[in-house]
Structure 1
């Protein structure tokens, strides 16, 4: 029996399974990276803003000068009290942001209560009704607001 040997061609493998395996591995890597990013501790917001004493003095002096300018403008009827409260809030928040590294410029009052200094949160909460209230804030109450802003900026260490 002299039979010719039968030649069997190699089996064709479908490309579907290696591609599917690659997608599964890629998905697992993405899942691991997402879990790692979502469970990291947030960077401390208030620990990286320490300024040298001379820079803090200049920053404080500039903020106090700006508070005085706003107070003078409101008392001289050049600026409405509502806008004055907005400006005071911006000055105090900007000062705290630069002096401490705390992102006070974008924090809400509840964020400030949770993570910020208590005296800053109290001051900003006092400004809210005068800034956003239905009635215009009166200029007579503005001098107390300016004094409170000076206390926060002047007492910052």
Structure 2
């Protein structure tokens, strides 16, 4: 039984494999660029695009009026000191955001320490225990907090 060995002739490569490899590599490159763009550090709002003096003056008046309203509501016991501290924080952060372009409304205290003005970071850190602490903030500390908020708003240039 002497049989001749069977030889198969060479097979050609299909074009699908190089094309598939190209799309996989291209997809990985697009994905890595997309991840890089998403994880870039946010642009700092350094206040270079600040408001004109008249707009800043109106913004300051509005913020100070709101601080007075919140302080009066806490003094009249219509609002708790804890809720008052939340409102003061929102007022000051909103004022700074509009006045400077810094996204202070969404920044943590660590972000403010790193990229924001020092007096704003200090004020927000002072509010944290009164906003989120276990014990309710007392009304006398609220008067100091309202004055500190006024100082930040009045001193902003």
Q: Same fold (TM over 0.5)?
A: yes
The structural deviation recorded for 1:38 is: 6.3
Match of 1:129 in 2: 129
Map 1:133-144 to 2 at 5 A: 133-144=133-144
8 A contact 2:44–2:115 mirrored in 1: no
Q: Is the 8 A contact 1:49 1:98 kept in 2?
A: no
Superposed CA RMSD in Å reads 2.2
1:8 maps to none
Aligned to 1:6: none
Structure 2, unaligned runs of 5 or more: 1-10
Establish whether residue 104 from structure 1 lines up as the match of residue 100 from structure 2: no
**Equivalent residue runs for 1:8-157 within 5 Å:** 13-27=13-27, 29-30=29-30, 33-34=33-34, 37=37, 42-47=42-47, 49-157=49-157
Hey, what's the Cα distance between the residues in 1 that align with 2:63 and 2:149?
10
Structure 1 length normalisation: TM-score? 0.82
TM-score after normalising by structure 2: 0.82
1:135 positional shift: 0.8
Distance apart, 1:26 and its partner CA: 1.7
Secondary structure (helix, strand or coil) at the match of 1:46 reads coil
Long gaps (5+) in structure 1: 1-10
SS at match of 1:61: helix
Contact 2:109 2:121 in 1 (8 A): yes
